[in-house]
Amino acid sequence: MKSRLVLWAIATAVLVALPPLLLAIGQPFYVDLTRRIMILAIAAVSLNLILGYGGMVSFGHAAYIGIGAYAVGILGFYGHFNGGLHFLVAIGASALVALAIGAVSIRTSGIYFIMITLAFTQMLYYLGISVAEFGGDDGMRLKRRSELPFLDLNDPVQFYYLALVLMLISVFLVSKLVNSRFGMVLRACKSNEARSRAIGFSPYPYRLAAFVIAGAMCGLAGALYGNHTNYITPGLMSWTQSGDIMFMVILGGMASTAGPVLGAFALLFFEDLLSGWTQHWQVILGPLLVLSVIFFRRGLAGIFYKPDA
Amino acid sequence: MLEVRSLVKSFGALRATDGIDFDVREGETHAVIGPNGAGKTTFIGQLAGNIRPDGGRIRFAGEDITALPAAQRARKGLARSFQITSIYPEFSALHNVALAVQATSGHSFRFWSPAFSDDGILQPAEAILREVGLGTRARVLAASLSHGEQRQLEVAMALATKPRLLLLDEPMAGMGAEESRRMIDFLGTLKQRHTMILVEHDMDAVFRLADRISVLVYGRVIATDVPERIKLNEEVRRAYLGEDS
């Protein structure tokens, strides 16, 4: 436990020190990249709650990135730039949509659950394409970024630190959650559903609550991501985006605190590194990912510590 | 305590439960025996709430529970162990029992404080582990326990829910002779304080523990009586004891 905290402290110190260092050596691009990674890491952390700890293989988590981003875009379209309002609507709308999707899909399991969550997200994806007012297929540019007190999101470094703080908070929240009574029920129902029912737990309400929490958290990531790209397209909700987030969780280590963050960093840094070398970077990344799954059964986090009992 | 009336369940053309009447009195240990394929598992599944009967009524502690799902029956005090070991393999023995304690101590929509640091859950869990003889194995991963210990853990989890009626589905299944003997001794002390339904193949265990025995053949209860008279019952001997034991 202690050594984990030390690792977290070191990682945080590095991330805090990164922007001034990168700017000093004239590499502002990497501030942007790291910021993007940290924002998507929030999405991965939220997915880990339901996928890693809850055993719910949601293949539609990008829906909430889209909802969060469009919340910022659409409010801006109608002239509302209050960041607090943006984030609140992003989180609230994502929670509501997660409630609706979860209420239906959690009644199923296994392959049906995967397909239903995918289907709902595809519906939202095509909804995004079909609404011409908000750019349709082409997407929409933000008129302005969200306006926050004391913070200017147009300043790459300030935005970077906001993403870092929110990422750390989301990691902390999920780690508290999965060790609470609520979290124990969630994990117990993943471990052995029949046993859980036999001692008196009904899995459904707990799973649904976790699904909503994860959706809301990912909605926040979406609002940040919209501000990050400054340009919102339905592509944010595409199934490949859902797959990317899922892969971050699996690569980093399901049901581990640091896993999704490690996964996000590993996947996106590699993607960037390889795409700098060759146009056909996916040909290299694919096999690397397959190998990593084969050799790191518990993900990258498994290198650092064993899973909790 | 438990009252079953004309319970029926069919799978296709097979009547797995064919009009069962069955009673359990407060404080008694009621064994259910029968040859393989007699419908014991289906019957137990309906008592526990995992299988929905096609017809008939189940009353528990004066309340009709026929339509209640398993989790709600568990909360009303109907605890079960499974024929095939069913535990949380990736949790420690202590946390397995702690989860069962948690399940009976109010709702679990508590999102913040750590579940297993409060003594309200861990202390009772430890006491129950000691009671079933797993006190020294509390920190061991449930998956690493021996088969016999896992069977004990199952019983511990059932006990942890503070049951009014224990439903033990072949608690001795797969145990060695020595382990079985210890389990029988333990169930002997348990029956002083608990009402139990015991489904078991081990006739030694059944005749030592049961106050009454019901014999299930082809989905029907052909006899319910005290052990001495069951031994002498002609129909039972023909259907069961004489054939394969």
Residue of B68, B84, B99, B122 to mutate, interface with A, max A Cβ within 10 Å: B99
pLDDT tens per residue, range A84-137: 999 999 999 999 999 999 999 999 999 999 999 999 999 999 999 999 999 999
Q: Average pLDDT for residues A144-163, to the nearest whole number?
A: 95
pLDDT tens per residue, range A189-198: 999 999 999 9
pLDDT at B133 over 50: yes
- The answer to whether the CB atoms of B108 and A198 lie below 8 A apart is no
pLDDT at B242 over 60: no
Would you call A208 an interface residue with chain B, using a CB distance cutoff of 8 Å? no
The tokens of B99 are what?
Answer: 């989860």
**Domains in chain B: boundaries:** 1-77+165-245, 89-162
Instruction: Enter the ipTM.
Output: 0.90
Query: Domain containing A93: what range?
Result: 2-304
Residues of B within 8 A of A199 (CB-CB) are: 74, 79, 99-100, 103-104, 157-158, 160-161
Residues 6+ apart with CB under 8 A from A82: A146, A147
- A291 pLDDT tier (thresholds 50, 70, 90): confident
pLDDT at A309 over 50: no
pLDDT at A307 over 80: no
- The answer to whether the CB atoms of B74 and A200 lie below 8 A apart is yes
pTM (predicted TM-score): 0.93
Extended beta strands in B156-207, E state: 165-169, 195-199
Report the number of distinct structural domains present in chain A.
1
Does the structural domain B1-77+165-245 have CATH classification 3.40.50.300? yes
Of B136, B138, B110, nearest to A309 by C-alpha is B138
Q: Average pLDDT for residues A169-183, to the nearest whole number?
A: 97
- A305 pLDDT tier (thresholds 50, 70, 90): low
Would you call B48 an interface residue with chain A, using a CB distance cutoff of 8 Å? yes
A44: CATH: 1.10.3470
Q: Is A309 contained in some domain? A: no
Q: Which residue has the tokens 């193949």?
A: B201
- DSSP secondary structure string for all residues of A106-136: TTS-HHHHHHHHHHHHHHHHHHHHH-GGGTG
Query: Residue A4 and residue A303: Cα distance in Å, rounded?
Result: 12
